[in-house]
Structure 1
Amino acid sequence: MHLILKTVFAITILLLAIFVKGQELDSISRKKLNITKISDAPKIDGVLDDLAWQNAAIAKDFVERNPTNGRPIPDSLRTEVKVVYDDLGIYFGATMYDPEPDKILKELTERDGIGNDDFFFILLNGYNDRQQSLQFIVTAAGVQYDAKMTNGNEDSSWNGVWYSAVKINADSWVAELFIPYSEVRFPKKDIQTWGLQIEREFRRTRSRYSWNFVDNTKGAFSTYDGEIHGIQNIETPTRLSFQPYVSTYLNSYDGESEFVFNGGMDLKYGINDAFTLDMVLIPDFGQTKFDNAVLNLSAFEVQYAEQRPFFTEGTELFNKGNLFYSRRIGGYPTGYPDLGENEEITEFPARVDLINAFKISGRTEKNLGIGIFNAITEKTYAKIYDSQSLQSRKSVVEPLANYNVLVLDQRFGDNNSISFVNTNTLREGDFRDANASGVYFDLTNKAKTWNYWGNLEGSWVMNGKTKFGTEGSIAAAKISGEHRYQASIFFRTKDYNIDDLGYTGQTNYINYYAYYGYRYLQPKGFLNNLNLNFNFNYNRRLEPDLFNNFVFNFNSSFTTKKFFGFGGGFESTIFENYDIYEPRVHGRHVKVPAYYDPWVWISTDFRKKFALESTVDWYKYDQHGRGKLYFEFEPRYRISDKWKLYYFSNATFSDKEQGYVSRDESNIYFGERDRNTLENTLESQYIFNDKMALSLAFRHYYTEVTYDKYFTLEENGDLTPDENYTTNHNATYNSWNIDLRFSWWFAPGSQLSLLYRNSMESYDEISRMSFRENFDYLFDQPQLNSFSVRVSYFLDYNRMKNWFKKRPQIEENTTKSSYREYKSMAYRRNG
């Protein structure tokens, strides 16, 4: 272990030395736009006839980014973007010429969705550090999309409150936007310099044009922005907003009904221009999307995606290092009661209730990002019944608990950072506590040709005694040109455990990884792009040392000039594997024969009304009759610009797979099983307009497992047939969910949603039921039927304070129309 740490440390020092020595002058040209301040705000209506636009600075001379990188935009598609600002925010007025405006693609979607659309794109970076920007998009159908982009990685969970309008004209289409300062982070300075990138998507040819040239041969897209100059002495408004909500639920389950009424509020406060406090008071997450439940036969828990908005929005700092898995907060209880001889559990909670949570995040003028997250969950009980005494009692299965995350992220240069992350879990009483800390670096040379990164983490679990574990990694990658390479080392010790506020997964191994990739940088022949890559993974167990596996992987993808995508690959372990996890006992392993896995996939042109994606993947093992076939089929049909249908189906047929089933004091038992899984998903959306939508989501997951024979695991990893083990492990599992949702964004940041939900699941210890028998059994199970209404309303302090101002006196000769215009102007300027 000490040798591993010394090796990783030496490699880290070497890479840092290479990085420092290899810093080259930044040769990337950055366009500059000097904008002016206005006194009268333009009306956001998609018509650029306001006085404010007359002398505005204009961004023009766009350059193609995809597919032909570097080619000037055709004159027929010339794009001109006017930019101005005032004390409330920044305004954009874009005119995008089109010789055939009647063919502009404008599919309606829900907010934060882009379909078959032309769109206008803004990337704003208040710190001008080329690392984290805010993304604002409006489609030709008027739909808003926003996200945070960090080093080229997009997080669309963030939702801002901003204003836009579009209009299609005889020779162009226009997008007009107002972005309040309350949505942008920037340092407190008299004179501001912001990063700016502007793009236009011309969907008919799937071409993307950018204002500042983006060199696709190297680096991340977000590092190629230009600059805004001229913003100075702005009097920023108070950044304070409230999001009160009320919700009601009528739930029916297993013959019993209940009516629930909730009310609460989210609060957002700008501590200063750079830091923001987000707080949820009396949370309600009853309308979050259902989880895609599965029957889990693996050695590790299933990691489900976070669906709760508070835990997905504005969390990019807290996701540094992957120490934070927010599903731990308000998740399944961590304790289990001790039962007496005649006791049984009559009620066990499925989750722990969240009392409140807050997060503070921002970045200083010196580019130090600071994030603080805290949440408190309430004490939770299980109910226990004694059949002899006929008495009931409660037992604590989760005490009052506090969860805390601290992040420090220092950025420097164009695309470099060093970060520290700490997570801490404190539980009341004798329940276990935990702490984890990590240090991370991510460096890219100024030429944007090489990237270096690594980490070192430690975990402490306190439960009577303290267990300490570590993980670390070091990596380097060539990120430019047609030929690209990567090499890395990663290790994790057996006592590493971040499961109290993170997700651990596999432990006690070291991984050596190498990669080579080749890609087209410009269209060639009949192809728009081509990507080939070769991957090598070599894994060993650390304690005691043991070969785990060696995996070779090849991937390919091609896109033609008619936007038909296809590709495939091949993977093989080549040698027999030693699986160190499936036995679920430290120090043991099971031998797994080598496998060969070819696959192919296709993806048709998504501009068409009908599009299709499909994959076929086949595993063949060096063992008679053992294999797995996976098939995925995903058609979609756009009935109109308002109505679309999506269907997703995948099937897995696995024969003679071998897996853990049980153990006793002396033996570990495995079973040979056939497992068939079928998943069907249907989604449909009808979009009334850019504010109102009706959506349907249906999912049925079915799997059956049939065991043919059982084995005892030997010390050398062999499996010996065991005819004495006869426990039944056959199973059939179903998960069924239907969500029918109506959403109405009736005001900026404000939403009304109506949801009908139907869900059920079944588990039976038999297999190979007929189709009818399976569904009869499923529909005999208790069903949840729920109807809920939730209304949230966005309240901005700057708008609220005007409610209490005295209405101005109107002269007798003032017309009603001019007063309406006065009120309209006040509304525009105050958000």
Structure 2
Amino acid sequence: MKPVILSIIFIIMSFTNTFTQHVAVKTEHKPIIDGVLEDLWSGATKFESFKQIEPDILAEPTVKTEGYFFYDTENIYMAMKLYQKKNTIRSNRGKKDSDLISEGDFVTFAIDPMNNGNTAYFFTINASNALIDGTIAEDGKLTTEWDGIFYSGVNISEDFWSVEIQIPLNSISFQDKEVQDWGIIFNRYYAQNQERITSRLVDIHNPFRLTNLDKVIDLAGLKKSQNFRFLPYLYSTNESNFLSQSPIYKGKTGGEIIYTPSSSMLILATVNPDYAQIETDKAIINVSDLPTEYPEKRPFFTASSDFYPGAAVNTRNIIDIKAGLKIRQFGELLKYDITGILDYDENKWFLSNIKLSDNITYLAEIIGGFKNHKLRNDYNITSHIHGWFYDKRLSIYDWFGTINNTARNKNEFETVNAIKWKSRFLDAGIWTHYRSKYYNPNVVGWNYLSNLFIYKLWLNYSIINETGFFRIHTFGITVNYNDLTSPRGNVYTTYDLVSDNIFHLSDYLGNWSLRLTFTPKSDQKFRHRKVNNFPTHQIFEDEISRFVLIGEAANSFEMEIQSDYSKNLGVKLNYNNRKVRQSNSDNLETEVYRKVGSSSIIKYSLAFINIAGSPYQNKFEQIIHRLQIEYNINDKLNIRAIIQPNISKLPNENEYENIIQAYNLTVSWEYLPGSFLYFVYNKYKNSEQTALQSQAVLENNQSFILKFNKSFSF
């Protein structure tokens, strides 16, 4: 089950918008967090009105589930008792936040300690006591970048399994009140029947939102016992370059201090933070005009994963950090994040996001990024206004962004406007996106294709049969009206026809998804950047370069299929034959996995593209293999190995061939919550050859990395 499947547990539906209140019980005795529900839990606040979300919405679950909550002055405690036969339990060990953890039986606890619908924390635990944690935004978007310190235990009996979790208040933000109410929800995935079960049902037409959580009320006397957390690290590496025969030994130290002056504010300071590459990035095939973008994984930035949505700020542009300071505040309506950074090139970076929202009718935010160079300043500022109507089925929003283009000494602009209707059965909307001629905020934002106007309409209708072979069948049509912003009048239109299906093969094979997309021939165009032989009136310009528009009228087809990832054997496949600059192409991405017991998984993936060539596109072929083997000794000690060869061919360029081989071995041990020991081996070899030149090795190196960090609270 992939991250999107994990998110589905939060698509929670019902017939009412009123929440249920549960009086919080305070305990004088701490439970032993081992998964065994001792008698102490019988006095806790109890949740037992669970309903199905899937496959049969509003139906009674086929298995019984119970949830429990209580607290003391410095901790909250939650537990679940999950009835099912021992031989039906499926779970996988895995490194914290791994997709593997949610591929089987698991539970999720979610809490909103601010009780304002802005941000919630979630904690997912499977039957092997493997863990995922993260945050949920006001619109239900789930991210796993946030990492907290908490304790969990699992116990498996013949007729049920049980989970306990202890969350220290030092790990989270909560209200500055003597007596307070929190939002809470319990969720369960029962893999045997593919049932998603929840303690809280919301509007059946809308995705999950934080304002509809149940409430635990009258929590009194909460406090943080420790206001400081210190995370120092030691890092040592031995790098060997086999071409120069010059080994390099490096050592580095640094760390972070987290200070919480109040229950709702956090100040994070870092000096020489550790951003060591632990695992090899998954290679991506990219034949667009823009460079490949990889996701952010560095802790100093992922601490703000609930801020900076979309393309407003790209922290991957900030490379080597000397020092940084971050301030975050959560209020009832207002929350903000302000971050300042000094890098080793003496550039100063400032990032900020300020949100004001009741999460029922409106959201307003301002997002900004600023870079102070030695010779100039760059910035981008984006505003966002969002309104909801008809119980959030209808939404209207506007984005407006501006950047300074120092090369042209002027400001450039971007606007996004949309009106959308989304219910359980109908998803429809109108969306416009305007980017001025030279708008590209890639200094502190993401790379963009500028000089573009898009007008998009879509309509998707779903037929739902909760217990049939076809569980969900969605028909969709999308119309894209495209033009340049300067000059206007270069219109072309594209259409997408979509059939999206989720079907139930059997209890043994589970639920599979199949998506088919057909793009019929129309007057679509692409940007060709070799313009020397074209008349002046056909030449346009954007932030990248000059270009001409060339027609590419052709039919195209795409198929995506994915098996049930809770099973021991599965596959994912994506194929499309979209043309690339008038060239025929075949683009295939596939992954096959095999789970060996609860401790191991083997994954093999293949990405392949073959471009036949055209007057506007050279012949091109690229093949990327990736073999990943993971062995999880227990829920804290993990071994992962990756082998990733990549072959690129340009037959037009003297049969040019580029071969990149990457190898990675990582051993990680979380010997205490929040404290890790890593051993990493990386090997990288890059070579090329042509019909006129034998293979030449450009890079050939390896490194051994030892990393140690320890979390201290005081």
Q: What TM-score do you get using the length of structure 2 for normalisation?
A: 0.90
Secondary structure in structure 2 of the residue aligned to 1:102: helix
Secondary structure in structure 1 of the residue aligned to 2:43: coil
Of the three residues 502, 519, 526, the one matched with 1:571 is 519
1:136 maps to 123
In structure 2, what residue type is equivalent to 1:652?
A: I
1:287 maps to 277
Structure 2 counterparts to residues 815-826 of structure 1, below 5 A: none
Measure the CA separation in 2 of the matches of 1:537 and 1:241.
50
Of the three residues 461, 482, 496, the one matched with 1:553 is 496
Contact 2:16 2:202 in 1 (8 A): no
The verdict on how the C-alpha distance between 1:543 and 1:613 changes in structure 2, with shifts beyond 3 A counting, is: same
Shift of 1:605: 3.1
Measure the CA separation in 1 of the matches of 2:598 and 2:494.
45
Structure 1 residue 421 and structure 2 residue 367: aligned?
yes
1:531 maps to 474
2:663 maps to 738
5+ long unaligned stretches in structure 1: 1-25, 331-352, 380-399, 660-671, 708-727, 798-831
The verdict on how the C-alpha distance between 1:571 and 1:286 changes in structure 2, with shifts beyond 3 A counting, is: same
1:309 maps to 299
1:645 maps to 602
| Per-residue Cα deviation, 1:7-28 (whole angstroms, up to 9, x for no partner) | xxxxxxxxxxxxxxxxxxx951
1:121 maps to 108
Measure the CA separation in 2 of the matches of 1:454 and 1:622.
33
Measure the CA separation in 2 of the matches of 1:322 and 1:444.
22
Of the three residues 84, 91, 99, the one matched with 1:106 is 91
Shift of 1:502: 1.0
Contact 1:510 1:540 in 2 (8 A): yes
Contact 1:704 1:733 in 2 (8 A): yes
Structure 1 residue 605 and structure 2 residue 564: aligned?
yes
Contact 2:119 2:135 in 1 (8 A): yes
Shift of 1:64: 0.5
2:679 maps to 754
Measure the CA separation in 2 of the matches of 1:561 and 1:490.
38
Measure the CA separation in 1 of the matches of 2:554 and 2:402.
35
Secondary structure in structure 1 of the residue aligned to 2:699: coil
1:320 maps to 309
Measure the CA separation in 2 of the matches of 1:491 and 1:620.
25
Shift of 1:190: 1.8
Secondary structure in structure 2 of the residue aligned to 1:193: strand
Contact 2:92 2:130 in 1 (8 A): no
Structure 1 residue 230 and structure 2 residue 218: aligned?
yes
Contact 2:182 2:216 in 1 (8 A): yes
1:664 maps to none
Measure the CA separation in 1 of the matches of 2:31 and 2:208.
34
The verdict on how the C-alpha distance between 1:633 and 1:768 changes in structure 2, with shifts beyond 3 A counting, is: farther
Structure 1 residue 401 and structure 2 residue 347: aligned?
yes
Contact 2:145 2:297 in 1 (8 A): no
The verdict on how the C-alpha distance between 1:274 and 1:767 changes in structure 2, with shifts beyond 3 A counting, is: farther
1:785 maps to 702
1:272 maps to 262
Of the three residues 227, 230, 235, the one matched with 1:247 is 235
Structure 1 residue 93 and structure 2 residue 60: aligned?
no
Measure the CA separation in 1 of the matches of 2:581 and 2:168.
62
1:177 maps to 165
Shift of 1:546: 3.9
Measure the CA separation in 1 of the matches of 2:132 and 2:625.
28
In structure 2, what residue type is equivalent to 1:203?
A: A
Measure the CA separation in 2 of the matches of 1:434 and 1:687.
46
Measure the CA separation in 1 of the matches of 2:23 and 2:580.
64
Structure 1 residue 411 and structure 2 residue 357: aligned?
yes
Q: Percent identity?
A: 19
**Which of 1 and 2 has higher RCO (CA within 8 Å, sep 6+)?**
2
Shift of 1:44: 1.0
Structure 2 counterparts to residues 786-805 of structure 1, below 5 A: 786-797=703-714
1:809 maps to none
In structure 1, what residue type is equivalent to 2:377?
A: D
In structure 2, what residue type is equivalent to 1:565?
A: S
Structure 1 residue 461 and structure 2 residue 405: aligned?
yes
1:34 maps to 23
Contact 1:59 1:80 in 2 (8 A): yes
Measure the CA separation in 1 of the matches of 2:571 and 2:524.
37
Structure with more helix by fraction: 1
Contact 2:181 2:218 in 1 (8 A): yes
Measure the CA separation in 1 of the matches of 2:198 and 2:493.
43
| Per-residue Cα deviation, 1:363-400 (whole angstroms, up to 9, x for no partner) | 123x2111101111123xxxxxxxxxxxxxxxxxxxx2
Measure the CA separation in 2 of the matches of 1:237 and 1:566.
51
In structure 1, what residue type is equivalent to 2:639?
A: L
Structure 2 counterparts to residues 410-559 of structure 1, below 5 A: 410-414=356-360, 416-428=362-374, 430=375, 432-445=376-389, 447-462=391-406, 466-523=409-466, 525-559=468-502
| Per-residue Cα deviation, 1:213-272 (whole angstroms, up to 9, x for no partner) | 144422335454211112023233233211111111010012210111111112211131
1:154 maps to 142
Shift of 1:637: 0.6
Measure the CA separation in 1 of the matches of 2:602 and 2:706.
25
Q: Which moved more, 1:225-234 or 1:573-582?
A: 573-582
Q: Which has the larger radius of gyration?
A: 1
Structure 1 residue 358 and structure 2 residue 348: aligned?
no
Contact 2:402 2:413 in 1 (8 A): yes
5+ long unaligned stretches in structure 2: 1-14, 506-510, 532-538
Of the three residues 335, 344, 349, the one matched with 1:378 is 344
Contact 2:91 2:127 in 1 (8 A): yes
| Per-residue Cα deviation, 1:409-446 (whole angstroms, up to 9, x for no partner) | 00114263100112111112x2x311221110122225
Shift of 1:481: 3.8
Contact 2:93 2:632 in 1 (8 A): yes
Contact 1:306 1:326 in 2 (8 A): yes
1:721 maps to none
| Per-residue Cα deviation, 1:591-615 (whole angstroms, up to 9, x for no partner) | 1321211122322333332111223
Contact 1:481 1:521 in 2 (8 A): no
Contact 2:149 2:674 in 1 (8 A): yes
Report how many aligned residue pairs link the two structures: 679
The verdict on how the C-alpha distance between 1:581 and 1:446 changes in structure 2, with shifts beyond 3 A counting, is: farther
Measure the CA separation in 1 of the matches of 2:292 and 2:691.
23
2:591 maps to 634
Contact 2:329 2:337 in 1 (8 A): yes
Measure the CA separation in 2 of the matches of 1:186 and 1:378.
36
Secondary structure in structure 1 of the residue aligned to 2:170: helix
Secondary structure in structure 2 of the residue aligned to 1:285: coil
Measure the CA separation in 2 of the matches of 1:622 and 1:789.
46
Contact 2:427 2:460 in 1 (8 A): yes
| Per-residue Cα deviation, 1:193-214 (whole angstroms, up to 9, x for no partner) | 1111111111111111100114
Measure the CA separation in 2 of the matches of 1:622 and 1:326.
32
In structure 2, what residue type is equivalent to 1:273?
A: S
Measure the CA separation in 2 of the matches of 1:582 and 1:67.
54
1:78 maps to 64
1:591 maps to 550
Secondary structure in structure 1 of the residue aligned to 2:633: strand
Contact 1:549 1:578 in 2 (8 A): no
| Per-residue Cα deviation, 1:70-110 (whole angstroms, up to 9, x for no partner) | 11223xx2111121111112111211111x12321122111
Q: What TM-score do you get using the length of structure 1 for normalisation?
A: 0.78
The verdict on how the C-alpha distance between 1:216 and 1:581 changes in structure 2, with shifts beyond 3 A counting, is: farther
1:668 maps to none
| Per-residue Cα deviation, 1:21-40 (whole angstroms, up to 9, x for no partner) | xxxxx951312211111122
Measure the CA separation in 2 of the matches of 1:597 and 1:425.
42
